[in-house]
Amino acid sequence: MKKVTLEDVKNLHEYELIRDDWRKDVIAVKEKRRVLLGDIMSILFENRLTVLNQVQEMCRAERLAKPEAVQQEIDVYNDLVPDPGELSATLLVEITEEARIQPRLDSLVGLSSGRHVWLELNGRKIFARFLEGQGREDRIAAVQYLRFPIGTGPLDGQALASGPAPVILRVDHPGYRASAVLSPAMCAEIAGDLLD
């Protein structure tokens, strides 16, 4: 999947002119790509559009206009654009009660070890690889970026898009267990992310 470039990002004035319609379109795409995982987690499968949206919104929030500053944002968020054969996702731990946030996050320490979150695809467990530098050994952030290395073979994409077995997303951690079956529509949507 093509990475976001400086030429893709609209300047602040141009973005304001289209922002309302743009956001409606992006929200509609995100709805097709978000899966609830139990009562406090969700995963959004990222693609080029969702990443470009994040860059546009960060530039707007921080009032970034200089090309060097915009490029820095692009460089950060381009890590979320999936490489060929991968799915890229943002895992959100969503706790609204302030007093419960830190204790609940503390109960999830170790989630990013590479053994607790996976996709089940045609009998294979595809473990999530969490991006480096998102926390410490004794702490976990409420937002985590991860990748699922599915593979580049045509059978990998077919199994995801319309395989005979359901595609299941699972988290199995001492502090939290949940699973969700991805809908056929979602599988078809994200299968395109495996292509270059």
For the CA atoms of 77, 102, 115, 155, the dihedral, rounded to the nearest 10 degrees, stands at -40
- The answer to whether position 1 is within a domain reads no
Task: Tell me how far apart the alpha carbons of residues 184 and 107 are, in angstroms, rounded to a whole number.
Answer: 33
Q: Which residue has the tokens 């790509």?
A: 33
Helices (H), 113-168: 154-162
Cβ density class 100-118: b for 16+ within 10 Å, e for less: eeeebbeebbebbeeebbb
Task: Tell me how far apart the alpha carbons of residues 167 and 85 are, in angstroms, rounded to a whole number.
Answer: 16
| 87-145 tens-digit pLDDT | 999 999 998 888 888 888 888 888 888 899 999 998 889 999 998 766 666 788 889 99
Query: Identity (one letter) of the amino acid at 168?
Result: I
- The answer to whether position 77 is within a domain reads yes
User: Does the pLDDT at position 196 exceed 60?
Assistant: no
Q: Which residue has the tokens 């970026």?
A: 145
Q: Identify the pLDDT of residue 152.
A: 82
- The answer to whether position 148 is within a domain reads yes
- The answer to whether position 87 is within a domain reads yes
Q: Identify the pLDDT of residue 136.
A: 64
- The answer to whether position 50 is within a domain reads yes
Q: Which residue has the tokens 């995982």?
A: 37
Full domain range(s) for residue 18: 6-194
| 51-102 tens-digit pLDDT | 999 999 999 999 999 999 999 999 999 989 988 889 999 999 998 888 888 8
Strand residues in the chain grouped as ranges (E): 34-37, 41-46, 86-93, 117-121, 124-127, 129-130, 143-149, 168-173, 176-181
How many domains does the structure of the chain reveal? 1
User: Does the pLDDT at position 146 exceed 70?
Assistant: yes
